[in-house]
């Protein structure tokens, strides 16, 4: 159906996100993989894009809600004394 | 289809009765995420706390108007994104997004720098400076692209959920996500290229 779409690097780049997110069907996957195997530039874009997402997600783990901020939230919701749930940190 | 994470175990009927336990559960499940979203949207701790407070206060006061057609979490995220955008407009009325420069007039994003930095050692890749570059990159995104990226890649919402939060189509969401990811890749490539001798081009 969309076979002609996956020729050329521009078209590959357009589909690279869908590929990373597992949203391509198997024939589109095969075409994209064949191109990436043969094209160093697209391979590098793919690898560095995937790594970029990974690194951003690694950064996510470094943020947690400060306990005093959580307490002020609970206070303003009138939940100050009731929440003995374990804190995230 | 059943989603067994703690969040969806939250009892909507109890929330709508303003049941304190249910709200405490909602806070426990989502306060970290909403705070993080606010912090990444605004890059300011006080603003992030304001977003957090406003989101849960609005949720508390308006939960009876929530019709349950989406997940409670989707609804919460939508309030939080809207609060963030409102604060951004208040704080930076003349905000300009510089990093959108890699988009062509047709809105396509073309990778500029092709440098394979994946081979760098982990400690180099995951350094403090890397995280600084990432956060600078996130702040440089347009508000629309940033929100899409944060919901999908940082908060882990599905394409459908993130599109629902932003009230845009899934294809529009995917375009924003792609621009954001490619922009961040570009920022990291520029940074890491300097660490690989002889690869600048
Ligand atoms: Zn190619």
| pLDDT tens by residue, B82-132 | 999 999 988 866 555 444 444 554 556 788 888 999 989 999 999 999 999
How distant is the alpha carbon of residue B94 from its chain centre? 21
Residues A22 and A43 in one domain: yes
Minimal Cα distance from B192: which residue of A?
Answer: A48
CB-hemisphere CA count at 13 Å for A72?
13
A82 closest CA partner among B53, B24, B11, B17: B24
- Report pLDDT for A1: 38
Residue B184 with chain A: CB contacts under 8 Å: 52, 56
Residues A15 and A46 in one domain: yes
- The tally of domains found in chain A comes to 2
Query: Which class would CATH give B102-195?
Result: mainly alpha
Provide CATH 1.10.10.10 ranges for chain B: 102-195
Please tell me if residue B21 touches chain A, with a CB cutoff of 8 Å: yes
Residue A10 with chain B: CB contacts under 8 Å: 108, 110
CATH code: domain B4-91 is: 1.10.1740.10
Binning pLDDT at 50, 70 and 90, where does residue B198 land? low
Residues A2 and A38 in one domain: yes
Alpha carbon of B183: minimum distance to chain A alpha carbons (Å): 10
The boundaries of the domain holding residue A43 are 1-58
**B148-191 confidence digits (pLDDT tens):** 999 999 999 999 999 999 999 999 999 999 999 999 999 999 99
Provide CATH 1.10.1740.10 ranges for chain B: 4-91
Q: What is the pLDDT of chain B when averaged over all its residues?
A: 87
Q: How many CB atoms lie within 10 A of CB A84?
A: 7
Residues A14 and A49 in one domain: yes
Report the residue from B23, B35, B181 with minimal CB separation from A53: B181
Q: How far apart are CA B152 and CA B179, in angstroms?
A: 13
Residue B159 with chain A: CB contacts under 8 Å: 21, 23
């Amino acid at each position: 159906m969309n076979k002609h779409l996956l020729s050329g690097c521009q078209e590959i780049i357009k589909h690279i996100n869908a590929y990373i997110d597992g949203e391509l069907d198997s024939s589109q996957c095969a075409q994209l993989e064949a191109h990436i195997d043969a094209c160093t530039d697209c391979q590098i874009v793919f690898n560095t894009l995937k790594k970029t997402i990974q690194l951003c997600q690694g950064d996510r783990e470094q943020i947690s809600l400060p306990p005093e901020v959580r307490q002020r939230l609970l206070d303003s919701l009138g939940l100050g004394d009731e929440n003995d749930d374990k804190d995230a940190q | 289809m059943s989603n067994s994470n703690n969040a969806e175990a939250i009892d909507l009927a109890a929330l709508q009765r303003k049941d304190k336990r249910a709200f405490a559960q909602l806070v426990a499940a989502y306060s970290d995420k909403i705070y993080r979203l606010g912090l990444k949207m605004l890059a300011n701790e006080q603003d992030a706390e304001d977003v957090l407070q406003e989101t849960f206060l609005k949720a508390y006061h308006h939960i009876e108007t929530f019709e349950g057609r989406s997940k409670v979490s989707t609804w919460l995220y939508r309030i939080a994104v809207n609060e963030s955008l409102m604060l951004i407009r208040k704080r930076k009325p003349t905000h300009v997004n510089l990093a959108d420069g890699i988009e062509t007039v047709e809105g396509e994003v073309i990778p500029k720098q092709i440098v394979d930095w994946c081979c760098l050692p982990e400690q180099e890749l995951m350094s403090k400076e890397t995280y600084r570059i990432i956060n600078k990159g996130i702040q440089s995104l347009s508000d629309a692209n940033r929100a899409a990226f944060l919901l999908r890649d940082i908060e882990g919402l599905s394409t459908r959920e993130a599109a629902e939060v932003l009230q845009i189509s899934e294809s529009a969401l995917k375009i924003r996500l792609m621009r954001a990811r490619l922009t961040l890749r570009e920022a990291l490539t520029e940074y890491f290229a300097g660490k690989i001798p002889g690869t600048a081009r």
